[in-house]
Amino acid sequence: MTEYEARVYLALLAAHPATGYQVSVRAGIPRSMVYEALGRLEARGAVLRSSNRRSTLYSPVPPAALLDHVEADFRQRVSWLRTDLERHLH
């Protein structure tokens, strides 16, 4: 997670749901950068986006769920690496 992503996630934990503008102000990040960070967090499953006629709102995934996801992803990557290394060493 980049510094901006971490700041966005923490800002959302403090007050959600929030618009990109609100997150930008709370996190102290330029608006152009906050939308990039929100997009990356959403792609990783750390942030949920909902839209209505007036605006797009963002909410954080609960920290425990985020950490479970990160841990599962890490374990899967280690498993793949182990398999590839064993294949190349034998």
User: Rounded to the nearest 10 degrees, what angle do helices 31-44 and 3-14 cross at?
Assistant: 80
Count of structural domains, the chain:
1
pLDDT of residue 25: 97
CATH number of the domain bearing residue 45: 1.10.10.10
In the block, residue with structure tokens 């609100």:
22
pLDDT of residue 85: 93
pLDDT along the chain (90 residues), means of 10: 96 96 96 95 95 92 94 95 91
Report how far residue 57's alpha carbon sits from residue 49's, in angstroms, rounded to the nearest whole number. Answer: 6
Give residue 28's domain range.
3-89
Q: Which residues pair with 51 in a beta bridge?
A: 56
In the block, residue with structure tokens 């985020």:
66
C-alpha distances (whole Å) from 54 to each of 34, 51, 80 are 19, 8, 44
pLDDT of residue 57: 96
pTM of the full structure:
0.82
